[in-house]
Each structure stands twice: as structure tokens, then as C-alpha cells.
Amino acid sequence: MTVISRLLVDLVVLTHVAFVLFVVFGGLFCLRYPKVSLVHLPAVLWGALIEFRGWICPLTPLENRLRQKAGVAAYEGGFLEHYLTPILYPEFLTREIQIALGISVLLLNLVIYAWLLLRRANR
């Protein structure tokens, strides 16, 4: 794998992890910076929709295409692949777990946004 190909794959994996973290915890930024909700709410809806529908995130095929272009079919070596990929693609992931994850994300963010709205109403 060339250095540039490996960097591109790593960049896609990092972007994927960052998006997942933003979907799950981005509501906390909205408590401090309410305008972040303009980006966060669509991200939460997209993340939950992917889980509920069992879809594949568009970043996954992009990552796979980059790996194939680099002549690598399977994950191998590298910090990002070794430590971060199992977070995005756990072996135990079932349809039921996907739905539970989607519900959890929605509930967590519902609580955060309710708190944000109550705080704003009390001002």
C-alpha cells in the first residue's frame, strides 16, 4: 500500500469515527454553542436512519474502494485499522443491536435537546 493510499484510508476511517462521535455526543456541544444543532440534528437523524434501516454508511464503501485501489483486500497493520476499525465494525453487531444503538442515540440527544430548550425557555 502506498503512503498516500494508506493516508487516504486512515483519513476516511478517522472521519467515520469523528462522525459517529459527533452523532452520539455532539448534542453536548449544542449546550454551549446552540448553532451547532443546525449541523448536529441532521447528523443524528442520518446516523439513526442508517442504524434503523440497516444501511451501510457511504464512508464504508469509500474506504473499501480506497483499499482495493491500493491493492489491499483485508485490513492489515497500522494504528487506525488495528484500534479504530473494530469500534466501527464490531464482530458482535446484529440487527437488534443496530436498532438499540439507533434508539440510544435518539434518546440521548432528545434529553440533551430538551435540556437545551428548557434552559433557553427559562432565560
> What is the Cα–Cα distance from 116 to 114, expressed in whole angstroms?
5
**Extended strands (E) in the chain:** none
Has this prediction a pTM greater than 0.85? Answer: no
> What is the Cα–Cα distance from 62 to 13, expressed in whole angstroms?
10
| pLDDT recorded at residue 82 | 56
| pLDDT recorded at residue 45 | 93
> pLDDT digit string (tens) for 22-64?
999 999 999 889 899 999 999 999 988 988 888 888 888 888 8
pLDDT band at 67; cut points 50, 70, 90: confident
Q: Do the beta carbons of residue 105 and residue 21 sit within 8 Å?
A: no
